[in-house]
Chains A and B, each alone.
Chain A
Amino acid sequence: MLNCHVLIIGSGGAGIRAAIEAESSGSVIIVSKTITGKGGCTVMAEGGINAVLKEEDSTQIHFEDTMKGGAYLNDETLVQTLVTDSPKRIQDLFNWGAVFDEDEMNRIAQRPFGGQRFPRTCYAGDHTGHEIVMTLLERLRGSKVQILDEITVVDLLVGNDGVYGAITVDRNGKFDYITADAVVLATGGAGQLYSVTTNSTAGTGDGYALGYRAGAKLIDMEEVQFHPTGAVYPIDSRGRLITEAVRGEGGILRNKNGERFMECYDPERKELSTRDVVARAIATEILEGRGTPNGGVYLDVTHLPREQIETRLPIMLEQFLTYGVDIREQMIEVAPTAHHFMGGLQINTDAATTIPRLFAAGEVSGGVHGGNRLGGNALAETQVFGTKAGISAGKCSPQKITPDTALIAKLEEKVNEWMNGTLPIAEARKQLKLLMWNKVGIYRNELDLKVAKRDLAVLREKTLKISSRMEIADAFITENMMMVASLVIEGALLRKESRGAHCRTDIKQSWTPDKSPFGHTWFQKEKRGIEIREENL
């Protein structure tokens, strides 16, 4: 059994940032089900990180862009924190060695991104997330933080005074406890609930399930962003992210007839409209028969100078060359792909969840992005709220609680059931992902959602099957995925409007997002609901 002052769960951008910040407050452990730094989606993030750095820009405009992009479902105080702190966090990264691209005046370079009125997205080529993680790792490795790799958290320890640690399982299936004065959840999102996703295999939504079981409140779980541009070929890499930077650099979307269709959907912003709009436009083109033979549309950069592609989009170029496509000469085929969960654990500006001693940062939290996230705001969120969570967790008073050994005995019972189960993990995940993609995707309606709810319930009734202790972590994770999926479906049923990324084709509404009578959907213990905004009734 290990003990520490602050326990950080998750090792992407938010988790490592929180660990670095918490270091000065006492002993810190960062635990990751993967290798620290490799698991999260931060390392895969390509395009950039938003921050107001120039005088011509302002945090007020960044605030307005984010609120508008988020269909006014965002928590204003969280957005305020995001836009105010992001420049400071960029400066931290820079001071710690980040190799961001610079302009000819030796300033951090910024490029335009969708839904923003000012080019405020800082970048390192098209591997910005990788750059940030490497910078954070350089910092982390120089710190006293204890790093635990390939340890999966299966449950939080909750007492009368809030959270006091976590139960873990290692690679070989051995359970253990880590007790702590405070816990930070930084486990990222749950794109893996969908069969087509940009997320790493670690994006299974464990933090939502851990927080929910511990009694914390979650919001807006139905708000799932489908990134407009995922790969369509080869079949096995369907969904792989084609960064928004491709459009930021001037890429044009065309249907099979060569038409620049974004001119019909958003004549003003075209390809650089918000992601929800572009994703739905592409989905509509495909649904209405104007897609490519592989079921996508074209993203065209062949008109750009070769050198621009080589220096600004080197990873895109390299990845496509691996698959035999030279994007300097051939058009890319793209289609929407599950990308980001805007919803999650409700937090305040200190990154505190609704239960004591539990904090959340990054994609696992909800409220910052509202109904739709702007490109470049996720990396900013990891740094801003990772820092906040680290500070807040560090301030928690010491506590000494010895966990009840019966807790692990209970988990062992579960393991025994799985050993005699019937549903192989791979099969369960496959069915879940298809179900979510087919019924809870970009376009939703009540009938599909109810079918999804029923089918998921049938799936959850079966007992997972494992054949060795090495699969215990995977079994817990699979159960987490199914639980999170149920929250997404319930949220989608509760939100009887189209708002942000959530689009209900069966509902006609008379309001624009800013005048919506609805607020957050919420989920806590066995209760759920949707907030009513009385001022808009």
Chain B
Amino acid sequence: MKVQVARYNPETDSKPHYETYNVTVQEGARILNVLDAIHDTIDSTLGYRHCCRGGQCGSCAVRVNGEPTLACQKEAKDGDVIEPLNIPLIRDLITDIAPVIAQMAWMNTGCTYTPVTREEIENIKPLRSCIECYSCISSCPAVESSTYAGPTIMRQEQRLNLDPRDIDTERIEKAIEKGLFSCTTCRKCVEVCPKKIDTPKKAVEKLREVAVRKGLALPAHKSLAKLIEDTGRSVDKIEKTFLEMVPDVIEPDGPVRATVGFFVGCVINGRNPQTALDAIEVLKRNGIRVIIPKTQVCCGSPLIRTGFTGFIPELQERNIKAFEDIDTVITICAGCGSTLKNDYTTPFRVADITEYLVEIGYEIPGKIKGTFTYHDPCHLLRGQGIKDQPRQIIRDMVENFVDMPARCCGAGGGVKSGQPDEAAKIGKIRAEMVKKTGADTVVTVCPFCGLHLHQVTGLPTMNIVSLMYEGYRKK
């Protein structure tokens, strides 16, 4: 088996370089077995950490083909590229984790005996399985672009916050100091976590809730929350909204293949109604009858991400009631879709428009000239597990499609409104990736990503429905 390994000796190298090794390993060998084979038979100076070899100590995390993983768990494949975590480097695959460890909060127990109920224990458990491998720190876009201490640091703060034995009264203040408002809730940390700990949902958003209760929320988030509570919408009204432009029911061209409800998010409704109108045209063209209840309101995503959850039950009730007799509700915004799917218990099915169209079959639009790339909205990719459908749609209809790996644009989780500098920094890294594709248009399925990417790249951005409608018009 041939692999490449990043090597670095601070005494002789100015920067890491890659060495190719050809080793013989057993069937089913893990990355760690490959590293052992290199160390034992080719170069005994190779530096790498390992200990329990069973995925329990977290020592051996490295990046394989760019993605953090435990070397002892990941099966090795010919051609793998093995690199250290994206944490300051000491030598070869050994990183300097001491500063990270120093950020990890400890329990302030006082000296009295505090009973803990089974229910409390069960609540803490999901945050307790962390093995401190720091894969999440390595891959967190906010850590790279701000002073954010990182996902597992927040996990630990919330673990302590949930524990009645912890008597620290400034847990939230400490969490804020360590960057509580820096998390974009992109969920990359969940994706790479060997224990699949849901830090954004179970720690960051919960800590933000406490921050709100303590009056420590960011001013921008407070005013946004007020706007939603006053108007049911997260953007103020400056022009005619989509919902004011359309009838309650729109019949398709030709025979009716299906009927769906249409959920329009605040940004599209209030700022880009044309996107929603394009979506309606796409659905019509594919024989889908569209019902658009006018009583629908904001999905609540901005509130949940920033900790203002007090108003959520009312939003949930209003939206569920608005769509109550409908089987399937379509979204064209990743954030709305993810929220309706994950933060609601709906009596109807929620589907992203790309997911739905690919599922029931759609007419392939006419060819569009130019070079296009696709940006995965985090709340579509990791929030809804939708990766291939948008790519399939775009690939089939554009002259030139250049794919790029997913990475958060920096806009989500209240970061663009609350900490715009950080959002811009994360966006700048994403802009570089976009530039590398040579694309002249970026396609996505989230108005917020679209707006932010347009600002950081200077390129036109398009919701996938608008691209599709343009293709149909070309026919």
Tell me the A residues contacting B by CB distance below 8 Å: 34-35, 37-39, 41, 43-44, 94-97, 99-104, 106, 124-125, 127, 130-131, 134, 137-142, 149, 171, 200-202, 233-237, 240-241, 315, 318-319, 322-323, 424-427, 430, 466-468, 470-471
Contact = CB atoms under 8 A, between A and B. Distances in A.
A378 to B, nearest CB: 15
B192 to A, nearest CB: 15
Contacts of B124: 99
Contacts of A318: 55
Contacts of B52: 38, 41, 43-44, 200-201
A34 B51 contact: yes
A236 B33 contact: yes
Given A35-B97, A426-B44, A97 B30 contact: no
A236 B128 CA distance: 29
B54 A426 contact: no
B149 to A, nearest CB: 14
A354 to B, nearest CB: 31
Contacts of A101: 121
Given A138-B106, A149-B98, A236-B29, A97 B163 contact: yes
A139 B30 CA distance: 34
Interface of B: 25-30, 33, 39-41, 44-45, 47, 49-59, 73, 90-91, 94, 97-98, 101, 104, 106-109, 113-118, 121, 124-125, 128-132, 160, 163, 165-166
A471 B44 contact: yes
Given A236-B33, A323-B28, A142 B107 contact: yes
B138 to A, nearest CB: 16
A240 B41 contact: no
Nearest to B196: A318
24 contacts: A35-B59, A38-B57, A38-B58, A38-B132, A39-B59, A41-B52, A43-B56, A95-B114, A97-B109, A97-B166, A99-B124, A99-B125, A106-B115, A130-B131, A138-B106, A142-B107, A171-B90, A171-B91, A235-B28, A236-B25, A237-B54, A426-B41, A468-B45, A470-B45
Contacts of B106: 137-142
Most buried by A among B97, B117, B129: B129
A201 B128 contact: no
A322 B91 CA distance: 29
A43 B132 CA distance: 12
B27 A235 contact: yes
A485 B25 CA distance: 28
A106 B116 contact: yes
Contacts of A202: 51
Contacts of A322: 55, 73
Contacts of A99: 121, 124-125, 128
B19 to A, nearest CB: 16
Contacts of A240: 53-54
B10 to A, nearest CB: 10
A238 to B, nearest CB: 10
Contacts of A236: 25-26, 28-30, 33
Contacts of B33: 236
A222 to B, nearest CB: 26
Contact of A426 (B27, B40, B130, B132): B40
Contacts of A44: 52, 54, 56-57
Nearest to B133: A38
A325 B429 CA distance: 40
Nearest to A91: B113
Nearest to A109: B118
B194 to A, nearest CB: 9
Contacts of B98: 149
A102 B57 contact: no
A134 B128 contact: yes
Contacts of A130: 56, 129, 131
Given A44-B54, A102-B116, A106-B118, A34 B45 contact: no
A463 B24 CA distance: 27
A98 to B, nearest CB: 9
A468 B92 CA distance: 15
Given A38-B59, A97-B165, A103 B118 contact: yes
Contacts of B53: 200-201, 237, 240
Most buried by B among A38, A137, A240: A38
